[in-house]
Structure 1
Amino acid sequence: MTENVRDFWKSGAILAALLIAAVLPAGIVSASETSPEVAWNVTFAPESNNKFDAVEPTADGGFIALGSTLAERYGGSESLLLVKTDGEGNEVWNATFAEISPASVAETAGGGYIVAAFNVSSSGSDQDLAYEGTSFLIRADANGTEEWRQSLPGMKISSVEETADGGYVAIGWLWNPPGSENETAAVIVKTDGDGTPAWNRTFPGTAANAGIATADGGYVLGGTSSPFTYDIGDGFLISLDADGNTLWHENYQVPVIFDVEETDDGRFVYSGNYWYGLVDREGEEVWLRNMEGLTGYAVALRPEGGYVVAGTDARSGEGFVFGTDADGTILWNTAFTATGIYGASSAPDGYTLAGIRFLSSDTSAAWLAGITEPVNPAPTAAPGFGAAAAGAALLLLLAGRRRRG
């Protein structure tokens, strides 16, 4: 049985959104003078039950979006979906890669894309599940055609980036030993330009959900020490030098970190379950902010200073995005009904969001939107999404289903 572990993490939000979609119209539900403008808003192949997990800007002013398509909503085989768009989200081309799940995508300096993907298989009963994974680095040309594929056995990959030397860095985790449900080790793999591993480092007892190559030639990993329970205090960041030597390893009073970005002054901003925060270049906490039940799957930098956090409300299943000042104070926010947001990136004139739009109780479409900053943002509260009614829906749905099977 193949299982997308990222969907396992997101299952609560997705299931709630399925019920909400049946009774609410799709669209923006939070709008005021402190809300961003939605410049464009598109869906892809609604008949195929698609979703997007990530979006990145491309050198030509467009975007590259990574996601998946399902043969059936539950129990069908999953294929990776890669879509190139213009600057307004209109499709230029798409490519699919059968029976693998999406993790990350980046445009490469010489043109084309590097894609991170994985397979995770499970065996045993619900009480005694065992997991094994294989990950892949896929090099695609400028039209999405596969040029080569490198496998990384035993790894569940989370992110990939091109490095200054023309190689790549892949970050994720291993089940250690293979087949174990609870014992994991975060892993970073440095490769050459053909995807051949040059070195790797592991960190037992942790799992990395995010990672970046830093401006000084090193790397930062983010994740959790409790990937199956998300206990407070287990969110971590690890900083490495260019050779993979650990510079610092800090835990924070958060359960998990899903995304991390380097700021212009060499600090690091992160987002995760219920919290977002900023640390200095030595990993010392600068500030930590609570999101009141929201899960931040993506964080990006604001050109004016400050940050953008996007994700999904675990109580209602609605997507959200908000912008902050440099101290983490929320300046603007908006939410989207029947929509889960899993990726976000800065764009020349604002920000691009990626996720899933629930069209009915059994139909969904991959979704992209472009938003621009409000004209005069002012401090405001964190988004509120009608959690009480949606929470009841969530409990009913979770009682019947915990994961895609």
Structure 2
Amino acid sequence: MTENPQGFWRRKAILAALFIAVVLPAGVVSATAASPEVAWNVTFKLENENKFDAVAPSADGGLIAIGSTLSRTSGKEEDVMLVKTDGAGNQVWLKRLPGMAPASVAAAADGGCIAGVYSVSINETDGGGEYQGTSFLIRLDAAGEEEWREALPGMKVSSVAKTPDGGYLAAGWLWNPAGSENETTGVLLKTDGNGTPIWNRTFPGTAVNTAIVTSDGGYLVGGTSSPFTYDMGDGFLIRLDADGNTLWSRNYQVPVIFDLEETADGGFVYSGNYWYGLVDQDGDEAWARKMEGFTGYAVGIQPSGGYLVAGTNAASGEGFVFGTDADGAILWKMTFPGNRVYAAASVPGGGYVLAGIQFISTGNSTAWLAGITEPGEETEEPVPTATAPGFGAAAAGAALVILIATRYRRG
């Protein structure tokens, strides 16, 4: 999966202190019967505000998460925070990339990673201002040392993936005209193993949020054709062959698609704002399920043949993950008061990792990772839900909901 939650965004942070009564004891993870268990959870911080936007399992059994760190008092722009952990979330290394914003991360075969990041500038004009930016693909080795970086001028990267030939895939959109935020053109870019572009394909009037390599060597991209309003019916999928030629394009009732995964029979499961669904290899819809008020930033496939959807409740601001049967009916659900889920990934050997943000009592936030088991599995040392760190909310207290506006996600 890719990673979780949105593209070029204006950091007009609108803080709404909405106090909501907590109906569970402090630290409790709300769960239905037969839910997975929380195996571990950890947090990371460098400044006042920290979060993870994407996470991926690394080739050596660990995890790589990318997010941001921001000091409210310094007046500086946010920086990228890139963290490598072992399989239980213990830090191996942490890197800070100044003056950049995070988008996505993918594992490399040597235990390192490829990170997709971007920087944004605003050129003041009589009309207010024009957004311009440059994205970068940054290759790091297993020790977190930078090997190379490739600039992608004019592109806002939202998703990166490794291709079978040793190259990389970058998806996102272009700012046009002349850096205007009012129109976007979706783009899919194929590079070689050093990040040098080989070809690109554009999709006018769209924003691409996610892209995957399909089992036949082609590609599938998903996003929206209304990136600033998320209008119903504007979520789309476009399938391409190995050379980037379009095979089919379909729109669905979902306003925006944030994540995709290919199924064993060659179909595709997707998640987005208010909806998740399944299509066949030709893009014809098998079923779609509505989840009113919920945003699914991540989707995955369970060994049972069902699906996993993770994201955030727009009303309460709390994170969730649920599992379904093969027809999309929900079988179990977990919620995380005080946390938001922006990304999720399957972990080799079973289970999943969730990534996002944890709000703390001071009004600050930490970047958060949690490992959960497969449904029915038991942890060797189960996390006591009454005192599990990282899901904090005082029993009689309230959760501070921070609304981060005008952001494509992965928010």
Q: Same fold (TM over 0.5)?
A: yes
| 1:296-315 alignment runs, 5 A limit | 296-315=296-315
Counterpart check, 1:245 vs 2:245: yes
2:356 partner letter: G
- Supply the distance in 1 between the matched residues of 2:327 and 2:188 (Cα, whole angstroms): 31
CA contact (8 A) 1:22 1:360 kept: no
CA contact (8 A) 1:345 1:353 kept: yes
Give the structure 1 partner of residue 40 of structure 2.
40
Give the structure 2 partner of residue 383 of structure 1.
none
Give the structure 1 partner of residue 386 of structure 2.
none
Give the structure 1 partner of residue 115 of structure 2.
115
Structure 1 or 2: more helix by fraction: 1
The 1:74–1:33 alpha-carbon spacing in structure 2 relative to 1, beyond 3 Å, is farther
The 1:263–1:193 alpha-carbon spacing in structure 2 relative to 1, beyond 3 Å, is same
TM superposition score normalised by structure 1 = 0.86
RMSD: 2.9
Give the structure 2 partner of residue 382 of structure 1.
none
The 1:131–1:306 alpha-carbon spacing in structure 2 relative to 1, beyond 3 Å, is same
3-state SS, counterpart of residue 247 of structure 1: strand
CA contact (8 A) 1:257 1:272 kept: yes
CA contact (8 A) 1:19 1:361 kept: no
Give the structure 2 partner of residue 350 of structure 1.
351
Q: Cα offset for 1:349?
A: 2.6
- Supply the distance in 2 between the matched residues of 1:9 and 1:321 (Cα, whole angstroms): 28
The C-alpha deviation readout for 1:174-226, integer Å capped at 9, x for no partner, is 11223222211110111111111111110101110111111111111100000
TM superposition score normalised by structure 2 = 0.85
Gaps of 5+ in 2: 378-398
Q: Cα offset for 1:323?
A: 0.6
Question: Structure 1 stretch 243-252 or stretch 170-179: which is displaced more?
Answer: 170-179
Q: Cα offset for 1:127?
A: 8.0
Give the structure 1 partner of residue 254 of structure 2.
254
Give the structure 1 partner of residue 363 of structure 2.
362
Q: Cα offset for 1:48?
A: 4.2
3-state SS, counterpart of residue 316 of structure 1: coil
The 1:403–1:231 alpha-carbon spacing in structure 2 relative to 1, beyond 3 Å, is closer
CA contact (8 A) 1:154 1:178 kept: no
- Supply the distance in 2 between the matched residues of 1:275 and 1:317 (Cα, whole angstroms): 17
Q: Cα offset for 1:171?
A: 0.5
Give the structure 2 partner of residue 156 of structure 1.
156
CA contact (8 A) 1:21 1:358 kept: no
Give the structure 2 partner of residue 78 of structure 1.
78
3-state SS, counterpart of residue 27 of structure 1: coil
- Supply the distance in 1 between the matched residues of 2:125 and 2:335 (Cα, whole angstroms): 38
Structure 1 stretches of 4+ moved >3 Å: 4-12, 14-29, 73-76, 122-129, 401-404
CA contact (8 A) 1:26 1:337 kept: no
- Supply the distance in 2 between the matched residues of 1:278 and 1:163 (Cα, whole angstroms): 24
Aligned residue pairs: how many? 381
| 1:55-70 alignment runs, 5 A limit | 55-70=55-70
Q: Which has the higher contact order (CA 8 A, sep 6+)?
A: 2
Q: Cα offset for 1:22?
A: 11
- Supply the distance in 1 between the matched residues of 2:25 and 2:72 (Cα, whole angstroms): 24
Q: Cα offset for 1:253?
A: 0.8
Counterpart check, 1:263 vs 2:258: no
Give the structure 1 partner of residue 374 of structure 2.
373
- Supply the distance in 1 between the matched residues of 2:74 and 2:127 (Cα, whole angstroms): 21
- Supply the distance in 2 between the matched residues of 1:368 and 1:175 (Cα, whole angstroms): 32
Give the structure 1 partner of residue 384 of structure 2.
none
3-state SS, counterpart of residue 31 of structure 2: coil
